A and B are shown apart, each in its own frame.
Chain A
Amino acid sequence: MSTIEDRLRNAYQSATQTVRPESLRPSVLPQDEPAPPAKRGRGRLGLSAFRGGLRPLAPLAAAAAVVVVAVAAITVPRLFPAARPAVSPSGPVVGGMSSPSPFLVVVRPPDIQVVAAATGRVVAQLPPPSARTGWSQAAAGPGGRQFLLAATDQFNACSSLQFFTLTLSGTGAVQGLRPYSAPMTGQMLGSNNWGPGDLAASADGSTIAYVTTNCASPGATQEMITVIRHGTVRTWTSSVQANPTGLSLSGNGSLLGYADLTNNSPATSPASAWILRTDSAPGPADQRARKVFTDQLDGGPQVQSTVLSPDAATMYLLTATFGARDNLLAYAVSACDTATGARLRTLHTWDNHGYVMPPGFTASGGRALIWYLHGTSVDELNLVTSTATTYRELRVSEYPAIDIAW
């Protein structure tokens, strides 16, 4: 064994011995947990009534506004070959929403699974594009058959993203997969920090949006929002502590909704939800975008992710509320008027099911999906008819889903 291996083993032992058995929390299971939803037929899940002793989720952090880079607009080829109308002609249109895709694209690194939304059955499997890369993100494109995929280099923490367009057949089989050369601004991409909500595509296929991290400058935490609309690239910078995520585009790609979660601790300023015109001048995002929602740190809802309706009239907020001791009380999805910022209604509330990580939140055709990293199913939420909220159990796998596009 080499000296470096010895030193590594010794270092690991030295570090891990700091965790003493007596210091561990005694139990990981909730005392009043319902039966695991094990291997039964499709149908509504039983609600977890978990109220156990999870670690408190703290409120939020401040956002200083230090903005550095502004990137001029440039032009690149169109992403999807045949852009379609913002709303699918086949589906019922409410609030600009059409019927959802018949397929879910589930990112389960390093592979992608195509899952039939009606049955939860895996109908296709897509291996990663190369040995070095793994699939990391997916976003629904036009027509319910086209998706935008992103792959990241698994060995380089500061590398460019690779984009691909995926076309499915009527049965969900992979009909086409082709690379898309999106512009990359030097090393301004941090693949290790990429996650759900950092990639979006418009329903008409004209526009994509993604968040990148300035990993080229040591110590920098600046993130950037890039939009490619009709081949024109624009980039907006965020503040040092800002953390844009939960990206979604209006049906025609003219507006981008996102949440700015902010990074720093202790919590001194709220997170917020924003709308950005995708034809606005590149520059500081918080100077170009309009704030739609701001957290209420005194026990009110705190935004976790957002979904913009195709007509951009409504922004759906995934929020969390916390108790007096910063313990998570509940999650909720509520509708917010983008013109006035008024909260219109709450569509759905639920507890955290015992999971530590917050749920994923994505939408298609007026339906939202909510899932947990280690959950065994995906919940469907009807965003349009609050009185007819439905849930379907889409059993995707026993292994975690990093991202889901619908």
Chain B
Amino acid sequence: MTATTRSQAGSSPQPATAAVIEELYRSHGLGLVRFALLLLGDQATAEDVVQEAFLGLYRSWRPGREPDDVLAYLRTAVLNAARTALRSRARRQALARAVQPDPPVWSAEAEVIADEDGRAVLAAVACLPRRQREVLSLRYFLDLSEKQISAILGISRGTVASATARGLAALAVKLKEEL
């Protein structure tokens, strides 16, 4: 026997909540997609994970949340969804497409970044451990403080500082440049 899915009785749309979430998307969606792009490398997947994050926010929404808390939630949600997407099997499951996925924006093949140095830097970033990639994008793209980054990633401020320093040092080596 096939058990049907759960009852819909008693459910009705909440336009007010939807409107709030839509407004948040208009305000932060572009920035979050750009942030996700740095973690993932392609816009389509970046949009997928941001969509996932907003959907999660919608379903867990409670009135009266502080705007800063909401944005922190969204950034954390985007980070976690990006981690999942990066796992090869999740990509296959959720994000694989009937055609080859887009190459990362920093690849020479993609040719979407005109700046050659930018491509080289991002290609070097892509070789760093995940945590360092995340910390660097939070610090140097979103311009977040160590305190904010530590809250989003759930790690200490000292760990944030350490990951930042290690990431920059590794980049300098990869790009053959002194700090």
CA of A157 to CA of B168, assembled, Å:
17
Question: Which of B106, B115, B177 neighbours the largest number of chain A CB atoms within 10 Å of its CB?
Answer: B115
Given the known interface contacts A11-B118, A28-B25, A156-B129, the answer about A263 and B92 at a Cβ–Cβ threshold of 8 Å is yes
A-B contact count (CB 8 A): 289
Near B by CB (< 8 A), chain A positions 330-378 give 345-351, 354-358, 372-376
Beta-carbon contact of B34 and A19 below 8 Å: yes
Given the known interface contacts A14-B115, A15-B106, A34-B13, the answer about A47 and B5 at a Cβ–Cβ threshold of 8 Å is yes
Given the known interface contacts A38-B62, A386-B3, the answer about A14 and B141 at a Cβ–Cβ threshold of 8 Å is no
Beta-carbon contact of B11 and A46 below 8 Å: yes
Beta-carbon contact of A49 and B8 below 8 Å: yes
CA of A36 to CA of B13, assembled, Å:
8
Question: Please, which residues of chain A bring their CB within 8 A of the CB of B2?
Answer: 345-349
Chain A proximity mask over B5-32: 1 for CB below 8 Å, otherwise 0: 1111111111001100110010001100
Beta-carbon contact of B52 and A357 below 8 Å: yes
Is B77 at the interface (CB under 8 A from chain A)? Answer: yes
CA of A245 to CA of B84, assembled, Å:
14
Chain B proximity mask over A32-70: 1 for CB below 8 Å, otherwise 0: 111111110000111101000011111111000000000
Question: Please, which residues of chain A bring their CB within 8 A of the CB of B29?
Answer: 24, 28
B12 vs chain A, min Cβ distance (A) = 6
Given the known interface contacts A15-B113, A157-B129, A265-B96, the answer about A131 and B156 at a Cβ–Cβ threshold of 8 Å is yes
Beta-carbon contact of A155 and B118 below 8 Å: no
CA of A97 to CA of B96, assembled, Å:
35
Residue of A32, A39, A345, A386 touching B13 (CB-CB under 8 A): A32
Beta-carbon contact of B92 and A61 below 8 Å: yes
Given the known interface contacts A265-B101, A376-B60, the answer about A3 and B43 at a Cβ–Cβ threshold of 8 Å is no
CA of A352 to CA of B1, assembled, Å:
20
Beta-carbon contact of B3 and A376 below 8 Å: no
CA of A374 to CA of B55, assembled, Å:
8
Per DSSP, chain B at the interface is: helix
CA of A9 to CA of B94, assembled, Å:
31
Beta-carbon contact of B62 and A8 below 8 Å: no
Given the known interface contacts A15-B118, A19-B43, the answer about A349 and B4 at a Cβ–Cβ threshold of 8 Å is yes
Is A294 at the interface (CB under 8 A from chain B)? Answer: no
Beta-carbon contact of B7 and A47 below 8 Å: yes
Chain B proximity mask over A107-138: 1 for CB below 8 Å, otherwise 0: 00111000000000000000000010010000
Residue of B61, B96, B141 touching A12 (CB-CB under 8 A): B141
Question: Please, which residues of chain A bring their CB within 8 A of the CB of B119?
Answer: 11
Nearest B residue to A36, CB-CB? B59
Number of chain A interface residues as a range: 35 or more
Question: Please, which residues of chain A bring their CB within 8 A of the CB of B96?
Answer: 57-61, 265, 267
Residue of A47, A131, A261, A358 touching B6 (CB-CB under 8 A): A47
Beta-carbon contact of A58 and B18 below 8 Å: no
CA of A346 to CA of B29, assembled, Å:
39
CA of A194 to CA of B25, assembled, Å:
31
Is A21 at the interface (CB under 8 A from chain B)? Answer: yes
CA of A59 to CA of B85, assembled, Å:
16
Beta-carbon contact of B43 and A36 below 8 Å: no
Is A171 at the interface (CB under 8 A from chain B)? Answer: no
CA of A157 to CA of B133, assembled, Å:
11
Given the known interface contacts A7-B175, A15-B122, the answer about A36 and B17 at a Cβ–Cβ threshold of 8 Å is yes
Nearest A residue to B97, CB-CB? A58
A145 vs chain B, min Cβ distance (A) = 27
Chain B proximity mask over A225-269: 1 for CB below 8 Å, otherwise 0: 000000000000000000101000000000000000111011100
13 more A-B contacts (CB under 8 A) besides A109-B154, A386-B3? A2-B179, A4-B171, A34-B13, A57-B93, A154-B130, A192-B129, A192-B130, A193-B88, A195-B90, A263-B88, A358-B94, A374-B55, A400-B81
Interface residues of chain A, those whose CB is within 8 Å of chain B, are 2-5, 7-16, 18-19, 21, 23-25, 27-29, 32-39, 44-47, 49, 54-61, 109-111, 131, 134, 154-157, 192-195, 221, 243, 245, 261-263, 265-267, 304, 320, 326, 345-351, 354-358, 372-376, 379, 386-387, 389, 391, 398-400, 402
The 12 listed contacts between A and B (C-beta, < 8 Å) are: A10-B118, A11-B117, A27-B25, A39-B62, A55-B48, A59-B98, A61-B92, A131-B159, A155-B163, A221-B88, A266-B97, A386-B3
Interface residues of chain B, those whose CB is within 8 Å of chain A, are 1-14, 17-18, 21-22, 25, 29-30, 33-35, 37-38, 43-44, 46-56, 58-62, 73, 76-77, 80-81, 84-90, 92-101, 105-106, 112-115, 117-119, 121-122, 125, 129-132, 136-137, 140-141, 154-156, 158-159, 163, 166, 168, 171-172, 175, 177, 179
Nearest 6 A-B pairs (CB), nearest first?
A374-B56, A34-B11, A16-B34, A389-B3, A11-B121, A14-B118
